Structure 1
Amino acid sequence: MSEQSIYTWKKRFGSFQPDDVRRLKQLEQENARLKKLVAERDLEIEVMKEIAAKKW
């Protein structure tokens, strides 16, 4: 790990308490899960549009 990485980490997370770091990780995980759900929903919508276009 480079010194610059350490300074960047300290700048970003230096004032965080352990509970804040845990909450941030939880929010990042939830955000990733929601992004996945939206991507899957968008894919389903596209498939439905293709199916509907072929029937007409």
Structure 2
Amino acid sequence: MGEDGLLVELTRHLMQAAVEAEMDLHLQVGQAELAGRGADAVAGQLAQEDSFAV
């Protein structure tokens, strides 16, 4: 285990992927709102894609 252990590295990777996914969604919603489509348009588009990549 320890400070440089596998669990620490996996947790760090998972958290980084989650933050990046959240920022991607946040930026997509912001762009949709600027284009006048609103956050619902992005949510509908993401639901249609039906995929989640980490």
TM-score band, normalised by shorter chain: 0.5 to 0.7
Aligned amino acid, residue 44 of structure 1: L
Larger Rg: 1
How does 1:1-56 map onto structure 2 within 5 Å? Answer: 19-20=1-2, 24-55=5-36
Q: Which runs of 5+ in 2 are unaligned?
A: 38-54
Quote the Cα distance in structure 2 between the aligned partners of 1:35 and 1:24. 17
Consecutive aligned runs of 4 or more in structure 1 exceeding 4 Å deviation: none
Q: Which runs of 5+ in 1 are unaligned?
A: 1-18
In the superposition, the TM-score normalised over structure 2's length comes to 0.59
How far did residue 35 of structure 1 move?
A: 0.2
Quote the Cα distance in structure 2 between the aligned partners of 1:36 and 1:20. 22
Q: What secondary structure sits across from 1:20 in the alignment?
A: coil
Paired residue total: 37
Taking CA–CA contacts closer than 8 Å with sequence separation of 6 or more, which of the two structures ends up with the larger relative contact order? 2
How far did residue 54 of structure 1 move?
A: 0.7
